[in-house]
Every structure is written in C-alpha cells, then in structure tokens.
C-alpha cells in the first residue's frame, strides 16, 4: 500500500464509515469556499465524532505526514478553510461535533463543541433568558470553532468585543495529537503563557479547536434604533464620542454609511425607503439597549441623546424607530449594502481598521486618494465606525468586465489600499482574517519582528508544518522575495 | 578584559552614567523582593532611558550571553523580578521610563512607558475625569510594565477584568533586541497570532514590555458599599448570583471573609468595629457604582438589592454605608485581613482559583480537610468570590516557630493545598503569578501538554535562555524528576 492508502486504512479504522469519506460527490461542497473564490482538492473528508477521535486522527496525520485543513461552517471570508490544489491534505470537519455540553444560567457560561452553529448557540441561550453577544451574517453556518479560529467580529464588537472576549476556556488538539485542556473557565489564572489566547485567531495553523467555554449575558429587554443624517464622517466621529458619553454601557452599535451606499440599497431593495426626508452626505445607525424593565428609561435616553446632539450641532436630522419593524428596516439598509454595491458592478472589498479616532480622517483622505489614483473608480466606506473598522470598497469604472477587472486593475487597487492603511498604522485585516487571500500581503506589509515571531512559534509548535499549510503564516522572506 | 568586563564597558557606553551601576549600595534595594523572601546577586543594575536603549542593551546581552532580569516596582508576590544568586545576570529596571506619552479623553486611551507607577496613572486619569479600572495594594510602587508582565488582578476584576483586559496595545523588546511594535490600539486586528496576548502574563521570560496603550473608563460618579452577614459561603455564592442579576453592570466588587478574619481584624485594628450587631459565619462586602448623576438610582438599587435578598432568605443581616467614611471603614476591614492574620502567627498563604460556581464547595471541603490533615492548623479563606479567587491561608498551630515552621510543615501544607486545588480543576496561581516561588509546583502539577507548549515557545523565542532565567517556565521534566 502507498503511504496515503495506509493512512486512509488506519483513519477508516479509527473513524468508521460515518467519520471518513473519499467520495468526490460528498467532498465536493467542502472543497470550495462559500464565495466561490478558492477551490482545492483533498484525499479525504474526515468528520470525527469527538475530541478523542480528533486527537487520534491528528496523530495518524503526524505519522503519515498528511496535511490537515480544519473546517467549521466553511463560511470564512479569506479561504482559510479551503485546501490547496495539491490534493495531499485531508479536510478535517468539526461539524459532526455539535453538542452543547453544558449551559449554566447562574454563572452565564456555556460549554460547547467546536461544531455548534452560531444560530443554534443563540437559540439555546435565548431559551434560558440569556444571549450570546456576538452575531454576524453567516450565523446560520458559522461554527463556534471557526469563530474562535478566526477571532470573528460582527456588529456587536463596539460593546462586547470580538470572539476573543467571549472565550472563557478552550480545548484544542495540538499538532502532535496532544489535547490542550484549557476548557475549565477560570476567571483568574496566572499559570504562565495564556495559550488559549495564542490559539484564538490562529486560523487552525497551531491547533484544532475542539470545544470552548463561552460567556453568556442577560437577554436584552428592549432596544431603540436611531438613524441620523450627517454632513461628514468627522461629524459621525463626534456623534460617536457624544453617544458614548451620553449612553455609556447602553450603546450597543454604531454603524456608518455614506449617501452612495444608501442610494445603492434604495435601488437594490424595491421596498426600502429613505428614513429621512432629505439626503445627507453620511448616515449613522445607532442601537441602544436596556435590560428587563428598562424600556421607559431607554426611550428617554434615546430622545435625550438626539436632542443634545442636535443642540450641539452634531447632526442635521434624525429619526427614532417607532417599533421593532422600523428598527429591522433600518438594520436591513445597513445589512444590504454589500449585496447592493455588488449589484452595481465589480468591486474590490477591503476589511480594514485604523485606530478609532483616526477612522474619519483616514476615510476622508483615502477615498478621494484612491479615486485620484485609479480614475473612474468610486470609493465607498461603510461599517463599524465605533470599532475603527470600515469596509472600504473600490467600485470598478463603468463598463469594467467582472472577473477580468478584479484580476488586473483590482489587484493593484488592493495593494494600494493595503499600503495606505499600513501607512496609517492600521490593519489589512480587521475581522476577516488572513487565510490564503491575504497571506502574501501580510508577508509584504507585516512588521518584520512580528512576522519572525509568528514563524518561530509556528515552527516550534508544528515543526512538520502539517496544520493548515499555506494559510495565515507567510513563508520566510527569502522564500517570497527571491 | 573578561567577557563581563567587556559587556559592562559596552553597556556603560550605551547607557551612560545614569543608566548603569555596579555600586553595591545602589543595587542592594533591588536584589531582594519586597517581602524579603528572595535575595539574589547581579553584575549591574541597568536603567535605560527609552525603548531604543532597552533594545541596544538586550542586543549586548545576547552578544555577551548575559542573563537579564527585568524589573518594575519590585513589588511582585512570587519573586519574579529578583535575580538568582549566581551573580551572572543584570537587573534591567524600567523605572526610569516613566512618561505618560499620551492621554486621549475622547477615545479613553492612554499610552505610557512601562515604568509608570499605577498610582500616577490613576492620578493622571482622574485629572481628566476618567479612571483606570484596576487597583491593588502595591499601587504606590507597581509599574505598568510589571502589571502587564504578571497580568495583575486586584479588587475590580469582577467587573473590569485583569490587566489583560485593560491592554489595548503593547511595545516590547524581544530576546534578540528586536522591538515588537504593537502599540497602536486597533479595536479589531486579525493579522495572525495575537503576540500581545502571549507577552501579557509571561513574566519577562519572552520579552521586555517597554510601553503600553491602556483603556480608561469614565470616572465613577458615586458608589455604595454594602455589608452582609451570612450563614455560609454557599449563601454568599447565592447572594453573588442574586446581586449580578439585580445590579448587573453596577456591581463593581464582591468580596467575602469568614468570621475568623473579621475577628482578627478587630483584634488588630483598635478603631475597627463590627459593622453588624451580631456575629455571622461569613460576610460579604458588595460595592455598587454609578456614573454621573446616578446617585439617587444607585441608593434605590442598593436598598432593593438588600431587601429582595433578605426576602429570599439569602442573608441574615446587612447594612449600607451611610457615607464615604463608612464605606472606607468597610473596605479597611477587607484590606486589613492579611496583616491581621499575619499578626496572629506564621501562616502559609495560597493565591488560588477554581471556577466561580465551585468556589464555595471547594472552600467548604478544603478548609476542614486541611485542618484534619494538619492538626492544630486553622484554615482561613477570604477574597474575591466573584472571581473564583480566594486567598486560602493555613495558620500554624499555636506555638509554631516563625521561619522554621514555614520551611518544614509549611511546605507540606502548600503542596497539599496545591494538590487539592488542582484536583478541583483550579489554578495554583490566580493572580500572583509563578515567578520563582511556584515554578517547581507548576512543573509538578501543570498539564503536561501546556508545559510542553510553554517550553517550546520559550525555546523558540529565547533560544539562549537569557530572559528572566529560572522564572515561570519549569525545566524539562527529565531535569526536575531525575
């Protein structure tokens, strides 16, 4: 038997019929990322049923030198869970491990397998009068393990932090098959390096997350959603500071979008309407929340916030959603920007961040700068101003051919956008991770000291380089700059 | 010239007269930890004036193979900043780097050098109507760098987390003299492994923290301090859950102490008085806080909290501090436990944690168990119930000789206490770190997978083993178990 055949035989014996397949039809959906940007090949799709099977499989992979591509919901944004086209790796799916092991309402903690889908976690928390304070578009497919491996963000980071802030404990299988047992949630634990933190956001290159302890919060009692028209993004920044001072802990979300994005959504969604009577250069969507019995105070707070902002000249016009339907309509505008912009034509999308207090200045500089450098393009920035994270899209000139444009001018545009954000001290990946999409850009623009540290840690923990090869960690400089 | 002489000449040229000394009198205060438990020797005390000098010095140390012991306020609890007695290392003090580089009130962020003293940081924040939400007994000497290196805790962790939660960005000099530049605070940044997190709590064994960006919060507008008498620690746990549900974000602290500790304080402080008319088995000290103009609502919340707790039978008796003086008096009781217990006689002190929901069960099991195993001793547990972190002290039998007892029965007692907490899934170091004091205990009781990972990372980042040798990272198993 060949090395691969011997591995497959051993893996089959370990995992059983349900746990391993090489059937091309069964494997096919998991060899391409959900946006269809990357397609790879694999010798098998492994679906272990528990942590012990994951550990056994990783040991087999170490023995037979088989690369492993861990995969959760396969809904990542950077191709981090898609194998390369060598066909030498296995895809290790965590989806079969989908049990919520324990949910303790008193301590507000849940222990769940890596394969639990975010939507299911939300539902389980809601049934107990609690909530899991992170959500994003892919909640119907994204898994807890994938959210941890990519340190996912979303629309509640302003108030509750990224996935990192939700993780109280972690269990993972390391490259030698050892099980890192950090699942017990200790609020204080100073026994050396915080290995859990190293695993969060490591995109499956250092270990395979198999389970996690996560924090839950009391369910929201009520919310109000505000919509403000503003003369500029700088004004939005001032309104953000004002909102933080006025609303404090009640401020749950602060999103911004330019007039261009609103109009794209109004064109795209026939039923959508402009929340205000006149057009404004920028808009802010503000969500305030309260606990049980806080509805009345929250309504007052919302009115006070807008009244004081208006008085201080921080906004031009504003409205408060009168009910949940209107609140949903306002959020629908925000959530429809990406598809609405896509419907216009090809665009290069950049998930970037700079320090929160520099975001407005950055966009006001970078948007016209990109349009000047690439004539005919349109720069659009929208998103999470409160996190310093804006989705910075450069729309192609009219008539550009989808597919061809992205591969030619589009690549130059992305490199220029990444250069700019790096010059401003920002990040080329705010919340979508590096994966295979931005690995070489990270190698090009990353701080050399940080890159060296990352390579050292990767080599130390995964000396055979079997865990998610080709993702996240750029090769040594001499290998990428010949 | 010898190797050491060559190094000293080069270091002197780099740092100048103010930056380096080998004068025994000047070095002496920094060669013993503040509790007087560890004393070492050093070839010199280096006090660089900025990050560039730190980097230059570390490069010299790498060249001449000189070990480095980084030191902040020298007020650590585990001997992590005291050199060994080989006399081969230098002490690298960060105290001269004490500038607050920038304080931005709008974003609530401060950038400061590693040598800034916690008390000065508090004062700088207060001047701007803000606060830095971490405090502890050693605030007059503890430095920002030391707080980060040890991931310090304190009495506000329940609400605001440990030092890790305050750090937005970090600058550090790595063992090869490279400067890790992670100072720019990005709220979202998914460019690979979070190296900042690895450095926090690494006790100077992986890198030397030279500066940090920290978060600031709005100043407290008002507080109330409650004192409750309880039949048991389990009742305190129920009261904690009740308080979290009732007070939510307003709950700033929840400390517990047993009757023994109260009586020790009353004996120790002539002016202290029992806050309640009768004695109770346990006491809880609860602090609630509010922002500006929240005083009235907070007073109502405090009364509601106690009334509903009384109604549900969660406490026996309680009082609310009528003013700030009374509030301070209640906190003084809590803060005087350690010296009061010390005045009674020798004791072995253990800074341990278990999951918050197991703390009461653990203490109710472990306290009598230790007294049974070590006849004549008295077990006392007090501290941060809300964090699952209790200071577990075992007082010597009457007549035990201070010094001798700690070295004989005391060592057996600590080993037994560490065994117990490990069996319960807890940590042998909740907030005081490992240093040299608990290094071998970590080697004995730590999870083998975690220990192997720690050693791999240490070897990868500091292959010469020059950074704070002998601290935190236990030697390889074959070196400690012959």
Query: How many of the other CB atoms lie within 10 Å of CB of B278?
Result: 8
Query: A160 exposed, middle or buried (CB, 10 Å; 0-12, 13-18, 19+)?
Result: middle
Q: Is residue B20 part of a domain?
A: no
Do B167 and B213 fall within a single domain? Answer: yes
Query: Which residues are CB-neighbours of A53 under 8 A, at least 6 positions away?
Result: A14, A15, A19
Which of B178, B172, B183 minimizes the C-alpha distance to B213?
A: B183
Domain finish residue from B195, B218, B241? B218
Q: Is residue A166 part of a domain?
A: yes
A472 within 8 A of A432, measured Cβ to Cβ: no
What is the domain-level CATH number for residue B370?
Answer: 3.30.70.2740
> Position of tokens 């000189």?
B66
Q: Is residue B300 part of a domain?
A: yes
Cross-chain Cβ contact A430/B387 below 8 Å: no
Q: Which of B151, B194, B241 sits opposite A200 (nearest CB)?
A: B194
Q: Which of A195, A248, A449 sits opposite B181 (nearest CB)?
A: A449
Q: Is residue A428 part of a domain?
A: no
Q: Which residue of B has its CA nearest to A425?
A: B184
Q: Which of B187, B428, B449 sits opposite A353 (nearest CB)?
A: B187
B387 contacts in chain A (CB < 8 Å): 187-188
What is the domain-level CATH number for residue B290?
Answer: 3.30.70.2190
Q: Which residue of B has its CA nearest to A148?
A: B190
Do A309 and A233 fall within a single domain? Answer: yes
DSSP-derived letter for residue B476 is: P
DSSP-derived letter for residue A305 is: H
Cross-chain Cβ contact A187/B387 below 8 Å: yes
Cross-chain Cβ contact B186/A446 below 8 Å: no
Euclidean distance between CA atoms B48 and B94, whole angstroms: 7
Rg (CA), chain A: 23
Which of B259, B265, B215, B207 minimizes the C-alpha distance to B236?
A: B259
Cross-chain Cβ contact A201/B190 below 8 Å: yes
B178 contacts in chain A (CB < 8 Å): 448-449, 452
> Position of tokens 């197991």?
B358
Q: Is residue B12 part of a domain?
A: no
B403 within 8 A of B46, measured Cβ to Cβ: no
Cross-chain Cβ contact B218/A194 below 8 Å: no
Which of A110, A103, A213, A107 minimizes the C-alpha distance to A167?
A: A213
B434 contacts in chain A (CB < 8 Å): 190-192
Q: Which residue of A has its CA nearest to B176?
A: A449
Q: Which residue of A has its CA nearest to B152?
A: A190
Do B202 and B228 fall within a single domain? Answer: no
Q: Is residue B64 part of a domain?
A: no
Query: How many of the other CB atoms lie within 10 Å of CB of A308?
Result: 14
Do A196 and A270 fall within a single domain? Answer: no
Q: Which residue of B has its CA nearest to A162?
A: B188
Cross-chain Cβ contact B151/A197 below 8 Å: no
Number of independent structural domains in chain A: 5
Q: How far is the CA of B228 from the CAs of A223, A301, B126, B313, B317, in angstroms?
A: 35, 34, 30, 12, 6
Query: Which residues are CB-neighbours of B458 under 8 A, at least 6 positions away?
Result: B205, B206, B465, B473
Q: Which of B384, B433, B456 sits opposite A190 (nearest CB)?
A: B433
Q: Which residue of B has its CA nearest to A293?
A: B246
DSSP A157-197: HHHH--HHHHEEEEEEE-TTSPEEEE-S--SS--SSS-HHH
A387 within 8 A of A356, measured Cβ to Cβ: yes
CA dihedral (B72, B74, B75, B79) positive or negative: positive
Which of A313, A312, A262, A311 minimizes the C-alpha distance to A284?
A: A262
Do A119 and A171 fall within a single domain? Answer: yes
A427 within 8 A of A421, measured Cβ to Cβ: yes
A184 contacts in chain B (CB < 8 Å): 355, 425-426
Query: Which residues are CB-neighbours of B189 under 8 A, at least 6 positions away?
Result: A353, A427, A429, A430
Cross-chain Cβ contact A189/B430 below 8 Å: yes
What is the domain-level CATH number for residue A196?
Answer: 3.30.465.10
B425 contacts in chain A (CB < 8 Å): 184
Q: Which of A107, A197, A453 sits opposite B461 (nearest CB)?
A: A453
Do B131 and B228 fall within a single domain? Answer: no
A80 contacts in chain B (CB < 8 Å): none
> Position of tokens 């330019």?
A258
Do B311 and B229 fall within a single domain? Answer: yes
Show the CA angle centred on residue B168, arms to residues B110 and B442, nearest 5°: 120
Q: Which two tokens stand for residue B44?
A: 């010199």
Cross-chain Cβ contact A188/B389 below 8 Å: yes
DSSP A267-284: HH-TT---SSSS--SEEE
A186 contacts in chain B (CB < 8 Å): 353-355, 388, 426-427, 430
- What are the φ and ψ backbone dihedral angles of A401, each rounded to 5 degrees? -90, 120
Cross-chain Cβ contact B428/A191 below 8 Å: yes
Euclidean distance between CA atoms A198 and A207, whole angstroms: 10
Q: Which of A187, A389, A459 sits opposite B389 (nearest CB)?
A: A187
Q: Is residue B202 part of a domain?
A: yes
Euclidean distance between CA atoms A40 and A89, whole angstroms: 10
The shortest C-alpha distance from B468 to chain A (Å) reads 13
The shortest C-alpha distance from B181 to chain A (Å) reads 8
Which of B470, B468, B443 minimizes the C-alpha distance to B72?
A: B468
Which of B223, B209, B206 minimizes the C-alpha distance to B290?
A: B223
Q: How many CA atoms are closer than 13 Å to the CA of B347, on its beta-carbon side?
A: 22
Give the residue numbers spanning the domain of A266. Answer: 222-337
Q: How far is the CA of A405 from the CAs of A339, A344, A412, in angstroms?
A: 18, 14, 10
Q: What is the 3-state secondary structure (H, E, C) of A210-254?
A: EEEEEECEECCCEEEEEEEEECCHHHHHHHHHHHHHHHHHHEEEE
Do A129 and A177 fall within a single domain? Answer: yes
Mutation target among A173, A190, A236 for the B interface, most CBs of B within 10 A: A190
Q: Which of A192, A389, A473 sits opposite B187 (nearest CB)?
A: A389
B384 within 8 A of B390, measured Cβ to Cβ: yes
Cross-chain Cβ contact A201/B186 below 8 Å: no
The shortest C-alpha distance from A453 to chain B (Å) reads 7
The shortest C-alpha distance from A388 to chain B (Å) reads 7
A446 contacts in chain B (CB < 8 Å): 191-192
Cross-chain Cβ contact A429/B387 below 8 Å: no
A248 contacts in chain B (CB < 8 Å): 218, 291
Residue B26's pLDDT is 96
> Which parts of chain B sit beneath pLDDT 50?
479-482
Domain finish residue from B218, B238, B270? B218
> Which parts of chain A sit beneath pLDDT 50?
479-482
Query: Which residues are CB-neighbours of A400 under 8 A, at least 6 positions away?
Result: A345, A346, A409
Q: Which residue of B has its CA nearest to A429?
A: B190
DSSP-derived letter for residue B347 is: E
As a whole number of Å, the end-to-end CA separation of chain B is 39
Strands B68-71, B90-93: parallel, antiparallel or unpaired by DSSP?
parallel
Taking CB atoms and an 8 Å cut-off, how many pairs form between chains A and B? 225
Euclidean distance between CA atoms B391 and B381, whole angstroms: 6
Euclidean distance between CA atoms A27 and B53, whole angstroms: 56
The shortest C-alpha distance from B370 to chain A (Å) reads 22
Euclidean distance between CA atoms A76 and A59, whole angstroms: 26
Which of B349, B352, B351, B348 minimizes the C-alpha distance to B426?
A: B352
Residue A480's pLDDT is 42
What ipTM score was computed for the predicted complex, to two decimals?
A: 0.94
> Position of tokens 């009742």?
B235
Beta bridge partners of B317: B229
Euclidean distance between CA atoms A302 and A304, whole angstroms: 5
Q: Helix, strand, coil shares of chain B as percentages rounded to 5?
A: 40, 20, 40
Q: Over the range A195-220, which residues count as b (16 or more CB within 10 Å of their CB) and which as e?
A: bbbbbbbbbbbbbbbbbbbbbbbeee
pLDDT over 90 percentage in chain B: 89
CA dihedral (B120, B124, B126, B132) positive or negative: negative
Do B298 and B230 fall within a single domain? Answer: yes
Q: How far is the CA of B221 from the CAs of A114, B143, B217, B332, in angstroms?
A: 42, 26, 12, 21
Do B228 and B330 fall within a single domain? Answer: yes
Q: Find how far residue B372's CA is from the centre of its chain.
A: 30
The shortest C-alpha distance from B332 to chain A (Å) reads 23
Q: Which residue of A has its CA nearest to B206?
A: A193
A20-21, strands of its sheet edge to edge: A20-21, A44-46, A90-93, A68-71
Q: Which of B200, B386, B388 sits opposite A194 (nearest CB)?
A: B200
Q: Is residue B454 part of a domain?
A: no
DSSP B154-197: -TTHHHH-SHHHHEEEEEEE-TTSPEEEE-S--SS--SSS-HHH
Do A177 and A71 fall within a single domain? Answer: no
What is the domain-level CATH number for residue A81?
Answer: 3.30.43.10
Q: Mean pLDDT for chain B?
A: 94
Q: Is B236 helix (H, G, I), strand (E, B) or coil?
A: helix
Do B157 and B232 fall within a single domain? Answer: no
Query: A159 exposed, middle or buried (CB, 10 Å; 0-12, 13-18, 19+)?
Result: middle
pLDDT over 90 percentage in chain A: 89
Domain finish residue from A37, A65, A93? A93
The shortest C-alpha distance from A187 to chain B (Å) reads 5
Q: Which of A153, A426, A472 sits opposite B192 (nearest CB)?
A: A472
B180 contacts in chain A (CB < 8 Å): 447, 449-450, 453
């Amino acid at each position: 038997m060949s090395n691969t055949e011997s591995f497959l035989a051993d893996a089959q014996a370990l995992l059983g019929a349900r746990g391993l397949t090489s059937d091309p039809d069964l494997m096919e959906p998991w060899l391409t990322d959900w946006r269809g940007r990357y397609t790879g090949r694999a010798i098998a799709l492994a679906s272990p049923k528990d942590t012990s099977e994951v550990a056994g499989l990783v040991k087999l992979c170490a023995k037979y030198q088989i690369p492993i591509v861990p995969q959760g919901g396969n809904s990542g944004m950077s191709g981090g869970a898609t194998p390369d086209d060598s066909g030498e790796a296995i895809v290790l799916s965590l989806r079969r491990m989908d049990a919520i092991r324990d949910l303790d309402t008193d301590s507000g903690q849940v222990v769940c397998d890596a394969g639990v889908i975010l939507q299911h976690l939300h539902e389980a928390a809601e049934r107990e009068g609690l909530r899991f304070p992170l959500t994003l578009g892919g909640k119907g497919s994204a898994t807890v393990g994938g959210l941890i491996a990519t340190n996912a963000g979303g629309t509640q980071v302003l108030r509750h932090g990224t996935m990192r802030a939700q993780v109280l404990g972690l269990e993972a299988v390391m490259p030698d098959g050892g099980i890192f047992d950090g699942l017990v949630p200790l609020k204080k634990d100073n026994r050396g390096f915080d290995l859990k933190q190293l695993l969060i956001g490591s995109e499956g290159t250092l270990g395979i997350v198999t389970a996690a302890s996560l924090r839950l919060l009391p369910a929201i009692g009520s919310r109000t959603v505000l919509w403000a028209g503003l003369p500029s993004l700088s004004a939005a920044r001032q309104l953000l500071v004002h909102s933080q001072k006025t609303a404090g802990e009640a401020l749950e979300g602060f999103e911004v979008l330019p007039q261009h994005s609103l109009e794209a959504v109004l064109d795209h969604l026939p039923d959508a309407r402009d929340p205000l009577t006149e057009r404004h250069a920028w808009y802010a969507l503000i969500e305030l929340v309260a606990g049980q019995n806080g509805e009345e105070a929250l309504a007052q707070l919302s009115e006070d916030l807008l009244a004081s902002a208006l008085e201080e000249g921080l906004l031009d016009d504003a409205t408060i959603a009168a009910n949940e339907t209107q609140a949903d309509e306002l959020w629908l505008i925000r959530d429809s920007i990406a598809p609405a912009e896509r419907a216009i034509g090809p665009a290069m999308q950049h998930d970037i961040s700079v320090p929160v207090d520099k975001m407005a200045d950055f966009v006001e500089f970078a948007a016209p700068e990109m349009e000047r450098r690439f004539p005919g393009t349109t720069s659009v920035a929208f998103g999470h101003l409160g996190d310093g994270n804006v989705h910075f899209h450069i729309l192609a000139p009219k008539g550009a051919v989808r597919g061809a444009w992205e591969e030619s001018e589009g690549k130059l545009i992305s490199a220029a956008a990444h250069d700019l954000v790096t010059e401003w001290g920002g990040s080329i990946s705010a919340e979508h991770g590096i994966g295979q999409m931005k690995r070489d850009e990270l190698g090009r623009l990353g701080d050399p000291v940080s890159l060296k540290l990352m390579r050292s840690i990767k080599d130390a923990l995964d000396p055979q380089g079997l865990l998610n090869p080709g993702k996240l960690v750029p090769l040594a400089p001499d290998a990428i700059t010949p």
